[in-house]
Amino acid sequence: MSWPGAAAVADGEILSDGGDGPPVVVKLGGARAVDPAGAVGDVAHLVANGRDVVVVHGGSTAVDDLLADLGKEAEYVETPSGVTGRFTDEETMAAFTMAMAGQVNTDLVTALKNAGVDAVGLSGVDGGLLTGPRKSAVRVVEDGKKKIKRGDHSGTPKQVNDGLLDTLLADGYTPVVSPPMFGMESESEGTPVNTDADRAAAAVAGALGAELVILTDVSGVYADPDDPDTLIESVATSAEYDALTDAAEGFMTRKVMAATEALESGAAAVTVADANVRDPIVAALDGTGTRIERSAVVDEVDELADTDAADAKVDG
């Protein structure tokens, strides 16, 4: 489902409290430095004011802690493009599912329930909520050399069961979505696989025509990552977007990648903001953090051409 007024929000009309705005997809980071308490209160506030909210969460710290308890060291690899990610072998995949869809999801649903929100926990496997091909081998860089590393259990969502989310939202429930996703190994069979929570949130936001808020442990994207006074507040043009991608480093690279995917697939706007400030979601919707408009990524002429072509197909 895509909210029909998404374009108005993309043009600068921000509706943080009322029920007339698009859905809000909140990606809540799982790092130890991210305190979810403020986000939980904001979700309760938005839902009470009639806004549809979907929460997507990470949980890297919980996964690493569980692996340590099991006597296994977390393994991270670097791709040729410079992005660092978790390598998920079979043993890690079992721990990943227990920590993410079990502990972290249940704890977050409980917190939301205690705040008065009718939250429903879902993994990306439930109802085929997040589906895409399994990636069993990844290209990595080790000791300066490019290699193929096999035995991975990962994937990127290519389809979202937005009908399931629409049904829950229409019935007054707040979905809380967790990796893993359903990784297709053939046309008819799949298996749970690790997927990046930022990109999962992007896929959900695109499918719903939602406004995506990515909460992390910094204020947004900095032009100079070492200088907090260089926060990039607004990105509305292609030139500003190029500057944004040039500035993004480390973990922020993946968040900018997710923002791009969200906007290209139909999200109204994306804001990267600090989870640890007061009222973090409402503050992000009201302009704090780094706000990226659709106009920075999606060419308006091409978008209109696609709309006209779709209308012609329906009319013809």
Binding site per annotation, positions for substrate: 86, 194
Residue 257 exposure: Cα atoms within 13 Å on the Cβ side: 16
State the amino acid at position 121 in one-letter form: G
Which residues belong to the annotated binding site? 86, 194
State the amino acid at position 89 in one-letter form: D
Name the token pair of 69. Answer: 């308890």
304: Cβ–Cβ under 8 A, 6 or more apart, which residues?
none
